[in-house]
Amino acid sequence: MKKIENKKASQIRQIWALVRKSTFIKLGVSIMILFGIMAVFSPIWIHINPEVYDPIIGADPNVHGSVGPSLQHPLGTDDIGKDLFSQLLRGSQVAFMLGMMVSVFSTIIGAAIGLIAGYYGKIWDTLLMRLADIILTLPRLPLLIVISGIFGTQSNWIILLILSLTFWPIISRVIRAQTLSLRERPFIESARVSGVGNTRIIVKHLAPNVLPIAFYYLTVTVTGAILVEAGLSFLGFGDPSNMSWGMMLQWCFVKGYVFKAPYWMIPPGLCISLLAFSFYLIGVGLEEMVNPRLKKR
């Protein structure tokens, strides 16, 4: 028993050593922490002067038209005197939340469907994988635009739902392939022969084994979700009751300030790109660790 524990501990130590060596993961985590701080700082900043700094309802009455950075407004204001810095901070919260939630939901859906398709096979497999194929071939952004158009006003919850429903197929395919190969391994076979129930086999034996890959797709999905949400918001299909980076850039674009106010145009796009970048970097770093075939020759 002690030996097993030691083995586990040494495994964790090995993984930790690999993580510390990975430039990609280190860089990704550093950027992510930066945005985490921004998200946490958001309410503190608003608290200083809610009437001016609230990203939704606040505005600086002394400002007319968009002005550049100053002490009161570190990033300047938009055309109606709203503080851009507080918008940016709030955007960090929204992007984090949405990205994470979409990725968690779609990973759960994808993992569940992949496990079921791979483990039960037969008609389940065919049906679920066909469905995955169809969703994969759908052009995602146009589809979201069309759906947004039909729903009329948009809320982040609907965006969350639709994104989760379109992001699961890639995950489910990978998980299914893994499950198929795992299903033939001796330890699953012996569990089945000794009369362990199907659900229990899936939960106890298969799920832990596909977890590392699921984790990789989790991070990559965050990137996708952040970029698609930003794209939707930028095109004017975002949640009007909240603030997001995509929306900041949209207003800058629509109101004709893109060339006049770089202090307004640059930060939101940079933040979207950097946050998406950080998650993807972590994903790639993880892939290098998980996939033995990518290791050095």
Partner 1 sequence: MDTVLEIKNLGMSYDTTEGSVSAVDNVSFRIMNGEAMGLVGESGCGKTSLGMCIMKLLPENAKITNGEIIFDGEDIVPKTEDEMRMIRWKGVSMIFQAAMNALNPVYKVGDQIIEAIVAHENIKKEEAREKVRELYKLVGLSPERMENYPHEYSGGMRQRAIIAMALACDPKFIIADEPTTALDVIVQDEIIDEIKNIQKKLNMIMMYISHDISVIAETCDKIGVMYAGNFIEYADTFALFDNPLHPYTKALMSSFPSIEGPKKELKPVPGEPPNLLNPPRGCRFYPRCSYAEEICRNERPEFIESESGHFLACHRVI
Partner 2 sequence: MGKYIIGRIIQIIITFFIVMSIIFLLFRIIPSDPSSFLLTPSMTAEAKETIRKQFGLDEPIAVQYFIYLKNFVHGNFGTSFYSGRPVMSIIMERMLNSILLITTAVIIAYIIGVSIGKAIAWKRGSKTEKFFVILGLWFYTTFTPWLGIMFLWIFSFKLKLFPLGGMITPEKWILDPSLMEKICDMGYHLILPLVTYVLLWFGGYMLLMRNSMLETLKEDYIVTARAKGLKEKVIKNKHAARNAMLPIVTAFAISVSFSIGGAVLIETIFSWPGIGRTIVEATLRQDYPLVQGAFAVITLVVLLANFVADIAYAYLDPRISY
Sole binder of partner 2 in the list 150, 194, 195, 208 (CB under 8 A): 150
CB-CB contact of 211 with 93 (8 Å) = no
Binder of residue 31, out of partner 2, partner 1, none (CB less than 5 to 8 A by kind): none
The tokens for 242 are: 């909240």
Longest dimension (CA), the chain: 77
Q: Is 92 in the site for partner 2 (CB under 8 A)?
A: no
Q: Is 227 in the site for partner 2 (CB under 8 A)?
A: yes
User: Measured from the CB atom, is 11 or 153 closer to partner 1?
Assistant: 11
Q: Is 68 in the site for partner 2 (CB under 8 A)?
A: no
Q: Is 234 in the site for partner 2 (CB under 8 A)?
A: yes
Stretch that binds partner 2, among 77-85, 177-185, 205-213, 234-242 (CB under 8 A): 234-242
Binder of residue 14, out of partner 2, partner 1, none (CB less than 5 to 8 A by kind): partner 1
Q: How many other CB atoms sit within 10 Å of the CB of residue 45?
A: 19
- What residues between 14 and 53 interact with partner 1 by CB under 8 A? 14, 17
Sole binder of partner 2 in the list 177, 192, 253, 255 (CB under 8 A): 253
Q: Is 281 in the site for partner 2 (CB under 8 A)?
A: yes
List, in sequence order, the alpha helices (H) in the chain: 2-21, 23-48, 50-53, 84-120, 122-137, 140-151, 156-183, 186-193, 198-200, 207-234, 245-254, 262-290
Q: What residues are paired with 100 via a beta bridge?
A: none
Q: How far is the CB of 128 from partner 2 (least distance, A)?
A: 14
Torsion sign across C-alpha atoms 226, 228, 231, 232? negative
Q: Is 296 in the site for partner 1 (CB under 8 A)?
A: yes
Q: What residues are paired with 84 via a beta bridge?
A: none
Q: Is 3 in the site for partner 1 (CB under 8 A)?
A: no
Sole binder of partner 2 in the list 104, 108, 109, 141 (CB under 8 A): 141
CB-CB contact of 119 with 183 (8 Å) = yes
